[in-house]
Amino acid sequence: MNNRKEYLKNVTRVVVKVGTSTLTHSTGLLNYKHIENLIRQLADIHNKGIEVVLVTSGAIGAGMGKLGLRKRPETIPEKQAAAAVGQGILIHMYEKFFSEYGKTTAQILLTREDIEDSARHLNAHNTFLMLLSQGVIPVVNENDAVIVDEIMVGDNNTFGDNDTLSARVTNLIDADLLIILSDIDGLYDSNPRINPDAKIIYNVQKITDEIRESAEGAGTDLGTGGMATKIKAAEIVASANAAMIIAEGSTPNVITDILEGIEIGTLFERNIDNIDLK
């Protein structure tokens, strides 16, 4: 793939996942500058006729700020309490900012069962499509207050992280592209936080063991999804023949630039055969 603009020109439905590190300051308090920039871009691409779904992290981080917590809670009840407070803050904030651009939002809280159970899957699919057909921008999160997503990874009812959730949503609504916004500007050939000579990989045609190994390392203290979870998300998306891009969320105009074909972040091409199965 030599021309991203050509590759992405037919995208009509996109899922954007934004991580906690993009939504909050290191203090845990919300970063309104980044959030406003994000929403302005989403409203702009929506005006171009592209259907948009936002998968958001940040409920616990937002709750931390409201509750005056200086570090991420450690126990499950503390995290759930922070998420319960933070979810309301997040949806109110999104509704307020989007309304300034004339956009209507809808909050959707999902669990793994909602997608894996055939009846719930169909209901969720139909709800998303109806909202999108009416010009609504769905704002999605896992129901952290009662189902422990980022809180207790591995529970059968959870996705384990919002990278996986965003990939499942991409497949659920038959989106063309998943954009994951993080605190790192793409996939590197080694961990850039350890190796100063690490080089970014702008395009991935096939997810191999070498690609998986290059994803070692973790994100910030506020989030839970490292690069390995993003590779997993890319595999899920590829299984439905959709593409995925990882990029740094704090970069100005990152979403609009991506959709204009500018080479930003790492593109995982849409190809159901691009996974090197073990």
* 42 close to 1: Cβ distance less than 8 angstroms: no
Q: What is the pLDDT of residue 77?
A: 85
Q: What is the pLDDT of residue 37?
A: 94
Q: Please list the rounded mean pLDDT of every run of 10 residues in the chain (278 residues).
A: 80 94 79 92 97 91 82 83 88 95 95 85 95 98 61 46 91 96 87 84 87 61 63 91 94 94 92 54
User: How many angstroms separate the Cα of 112 from the Cα of each of 34, 123, 149, 168, 211?
Assistant: 29, 14, 9, 9, 27
Report pTM.
0.88
How many CA atoms, within 13 angstroms, populate the side-chain half-sphere of residue 101?
Answer: 21
Angle at 90 between CA 87 and CA 94, to 5 degrees: 140
DSSP-assigned letters across all residues of 84-123:
HHHHHHHHHHHHHHHHHTT-EEEEEEE-HHHHHSHHHHHH
SS3 state at 35: helix
Q: What is the DSSP letter of 240?
A: T
Q: What is the pLDDT of residue 155?
A: 40
* Amino acid, single-letter form, for residue 83: A
Query: What structural domains does the chain harbor?
Result: 4-268 (3.40.1160.10)
Q: What is the pLDDT of residue 26?
A: 76
b/e map 105-115, b = 16+ CB within 10 Å: bbbbbbbbebb
Q: What is the pLDDT of residue 135?
A: 98
How many CA atoms, within 13 angstroms, populate the side-chain half-sphere of residue 76?
Answer: 8
Question: What's the rounded Cα separation, in Å, for the pair 266 and 247?
Answer: 7
Phi/psi for 233 (5° steps) reads -60, -40
Give the ranges where 160-241 is alpha helix by DSSP (H). Answer: 162-172, 209-213, 227-238
Q: What is the pLDDT of residue 276?
A: 53
| Burial class, 35, CB count within 10 angstroms (exposed 0-12 / middle 13-18 / buried 19+) | buried
